[in-house]
Structure 1
Amino acid sequence: MAQAITAERGQWYKRLDLDENFEVVAIDRDEECIEIQYYSGEIEEIDEASWELLEIAPIAPPDNWSGAFGSDNRVEFEAQADSLETALNMVDNSN
């Protein structure tokens, strides 16, 4: 059985079965789903029951943590953000 690791928005994890890194980009407690984005840019939505079965480990963000964001605005956010959480809040507030 996989170790239960709580999903945290902005936290990076490594999927041990796929040997891929991803970030939790959104958590919807009402819908019981977690949206993740792999470093390659692919986005996946996982229900909480499936999350608990994943073989994952928390990791430090990659040096270029914005690499997964396919946005032309990422340079602007990088220049203004002093942390990942600040950048995420800027994205949330820009909508």
Structure 2
Amino acid sequence: MAEWLGDLTIGQWFEADGEPFEVIGIDAQAELVLVQHYDGTLEDYDFETWMALAARPCAPPEDYSGALDIERDDYGERDGISAGRPAHWDNPLDLLRDD
């Protein structure tokens, strides 16, 4: 395996030009890094392209809607609380009856 691939792990997030992306695969034989951008776009990088990219490790985004092509309002999230869902979730097993 190429030495430069040894520092990468699947699931690691990077940022280049202000755009976050996740490493979703590593092809050691072809010396490629497979990534998925926050908007869902898939791309692969060879060594020269990866080095030119100058990607920096970053934290994963808090809002997962980018890859789903939906807005925050579309899935009911509002200030970290889901609309229509009680603030305290009950245990679903409590709904089972003992007959």
Same fold (TM over 0.5): yes
TM-score, length basis structure 1: 0.57
- Please provide the CA RMSD for this pair: 2.4
Structure 1: 4+ residue segments shifted above 2 A: 4-8, 64-70
Identity %: 37
SS at match of 2:39: coil
Gaps of 5+ in 2: 70-99
Which structure's relative contact order is higher, taking Cα pairs within 8 Å and 6+ residues apart? 1
* Unmatched 5+ stretches in structure 1: 71-95
Matched position secondary structure for 2:51: helix
TM-score (norm 2): 0.55
* Map of 1:79 onto structure 2: none
CA-to-partner distance for each residue in 1:11-68, whole Å, 9 max, x for gaps? 111112xx21100000000111111110000001111232122122111111134753
Q: Does 1:31 align with 2:30?
A: yes
Pairing 1:47-58 to 2, within 5 Å after superposition: 47-58=46-57
Aligned length: 65
Distance across 2 between alignment mates of 1:42 and 1:33: 16
- Greater share of helix: 1
Distance in 1 separating the partners of 2:68 and 2:34: 14
